[in-house]
């Protein structure tokens, strides 16, 4: 027997290979510092854990949840979007809870793409957009994000026949891995492009709540006409240190939300009721928690950025996300540099190459190691000469 061919087209998940190498290195006695994946290292917001304790004991939460979401959850989402972004959404037709952002990406692709349709997504990018297009049997068109364009997609460069045949565009700002941010004017340009070509837009706003200095990331839904063409994915994973909990939501375009409500009962039953209750506490009463976390990441950013610059790498201090995206000196490649940092400093970083062939001049570092470990990483970088 043979497993399905579609699996052959999925790339092995980046961090699976990495985990094996780290294990081997640690077994050799090396004190490895992992700045590879962006998974918050500190515990979930305490108030949320507390709320979960009560919610898990409530028998009403022991039965099947609904894919529509608890009314209290939907109202908490609507109030959050109004308070944070001045965006208003209809709780009956414009919100759907999800098992995190990753699930949202996959199921939105299944909702928007028929076999053979074109899916537009950027490179570099969160690898899941490509997997989602593949599993939906769609064709892909990659939009290269270039430093000269602030890592924003050049929509005018998309060939007209490709744009016409495209059904879905994924974008993500604040951006993983480039840390680039976008403003509402850019989102309005995206809306015009989508309307012109009849394309659904999915904006992945996974990092909206992790912002530095005086920056506050906007919502795609603030753009005029955004709800006519698309939706925004939010996740509690990064802001409230809830990657293990699997909770997020999609808000916006009624047609896509309706399609999700049609699709999802065929696949899952929505997030555990107790987790929805805990998420209400996060969205309603713990809005300052992501700001406290942001201060911690900002402090870590300010430890590592100068260390990278001293090694000859170029980068702007990011305004958001859990990452640094650093450009290498001209003679070096990301595969070589990440290997050397691993071998010679015991520090794991992600090679830009793993986000696509156009990214071999960059490495990505995650700020999700305890601050003393980042100080130690900076010290080890100080002893290295790359070129």
Footprint of ligand PLP on this chain (CB under 6 A)? Answer: 100-102, 126, 172, 176, 204, 206, 235, 237-238, 243, 248
36 vs 248 by CB, closer to ligand PLP: 248
Tokens of residue 173, six digits? 């700002």
230 vs 346 by CB, closer to ligand PLP: 230
182 vs 345 by CB, closer to ligand PLP: 182
65 vs 97 by CB, closer to ligand PLP: 97
Tokens of residue 195, six digits? 């309307």
At closest approach, how far in Å is the CB of 200 from ligand PLP? 17
Q: Partners of 84 in the beta sheet? A: none
116 vs 244 by CB, closer to ligand PLP: 244
At closest approach, how far in Å is the CB of 231 from ligand PLP? 14
d(CA 165, CA 157): 15
78 vs 99 by CB, closer to ligand PLP: 99
At closest approach, how far in Å is the CB of 243 from ligand PLP? 5
197 vs 320 by CB, closer to ligand PLP: 320
243 vs 294 by CB, closer to ligand PLP: 243
At closest approach, how far in Å is the CB of 312 from ligand PLP? 27
d(CA 301, CA 374): 9
Residue length of the chain: 387
At closest approach, how far in Å is the CB of 101 from ligand PLP? 3
At closest approach, how far in Å is the CB of 274 from ligand PLP? 18
123 vs 376 by CB, closer to ligand PLP: 123
User: How many other CB atoms sit within 10 Å of the CB of residue 84?
Assistant: 17
CB burial of residue 242 (10 Å; 0-12, 13-18, 19+): buried
Report whether the peptide linkage leading into residue 124 is cis, meaning its omega lies within 30 degrees of zero. Answer: yes
At closest approach, how far in Å is the CB of 14 from ligand PLP? 12
DSSP assignment letter at 174: S
Give me the phi and psi of 180, to 5 degrees please: -65, 150
39 vs 144 by CB, closer to ligand PLP: 39
Q: What are the respective helix, strand and coil percentages of the chain, to the nearest 5?
A: 45, 15, 40
Tokens of residue 279, six digits? 């998420």
Strands 95-98 and 248-252: antiparallel
At closest approach, how far in Å is the CB of 237 from ligand PLP? 3
At closest approach, how far in Å is the CB of 43 from ligand PLP? 16
Tell me which residue of 195, 281, 250 sits closest to 81, measured CA to CA.
Answer: 250
Report whether the peptide linkage leading into residue 325 is cis, meaning its omega lies within 30 degrees of zero. Answer: no
d(CA 18, CA 36): 8
DSSP reduced 3-state for 224: coil
**Strand intervals (E) in the chain:** 33-34, 95-98, 118-123, 139-144, 166-171, 200-204, 230-235, 248-252, 323-327, 347-348, 350-351, 362-366
- Taken in order 160, 162, 166, 169, the sign of the CA dihedral is negative
At closest approach, how far in Å is the CB of 104 from ligand PLP? 8
């Amino acid at each position: 027997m043979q497993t399905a061919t579609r699996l052959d087209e999925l790339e092995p998940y980046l961090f699976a290979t990495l985990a094996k190498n780290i294990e081997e290195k640690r077994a050799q006695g090396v004190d490895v510092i992992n700045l590879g994946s962006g998974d918050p290292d500190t515990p979930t917001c305490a108030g949320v854990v507390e709320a979960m304790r009560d919610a898990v004991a409530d028998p009403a939460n022991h039965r099947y949840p609904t894919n529509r979401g608890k009314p209290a959850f939907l109202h908490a989402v609507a109030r959050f979007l109004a308070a944070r972004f001045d965006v208003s959404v209809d709780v009956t037709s414009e919100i759907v809870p999800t098992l995190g952002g990753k699930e949202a990406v996959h199921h939105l692709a299944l909702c928007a793409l028929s076999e053979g349709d074109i899916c537009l997504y950027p490179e570099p990018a969160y690898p899941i957009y490509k997997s989602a297009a593949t599993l939906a049997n769609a064709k892909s068109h990659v939009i290269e994000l270039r430093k000269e364009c602030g890592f924003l997609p050049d929509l005018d460069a998309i060939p007209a026949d490709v744009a016409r045949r495209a059904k879905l565009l994924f974008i993500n700002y604040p951006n993983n891995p480039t840390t680039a941010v976008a403003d509402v004017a850019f989102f309005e340009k995206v809306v015009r492009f989508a309307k012109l070509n009849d394309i659904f837009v999915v904006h992945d706003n996974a990092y909206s709540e992790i912002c530095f200095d005086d920056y506050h990331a906007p919502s795609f839904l603030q753009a005029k006409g955004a709800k006519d063409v698309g939706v925004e994915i939010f996740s509690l994973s990064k802001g409230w240190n809830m990657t293990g909990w699997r909770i997020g939501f999609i808000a916006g375009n009624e047609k896509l939300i309706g399609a999700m409500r049609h699709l999802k009962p065929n696949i899952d039953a929505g997030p555990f009721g107790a987790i929805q209750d805990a998420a209400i506490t996060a969205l309603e009463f713990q809005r300052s928690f992501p700001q406290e976390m942001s201060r911690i990441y900002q402090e870590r950013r300010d430890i590592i950025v100068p260390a990278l610059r001293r090694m000859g790498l170029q980068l702007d201090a990011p305004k958001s996300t859990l990452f640094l995206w650093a450009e290498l000196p001209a003679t070096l490649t990301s595969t070589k540099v990440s290997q050397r940092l691993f071998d010679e400093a015991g520090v794991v970083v992600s090679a830009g190459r793993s986000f696509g062939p156009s990214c071999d001049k960059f490495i990505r570092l995650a700020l999700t190691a305890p601050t003393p470990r980042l100080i130690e990483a900076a010290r080890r970088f100080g002893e290295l000469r790359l070129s």
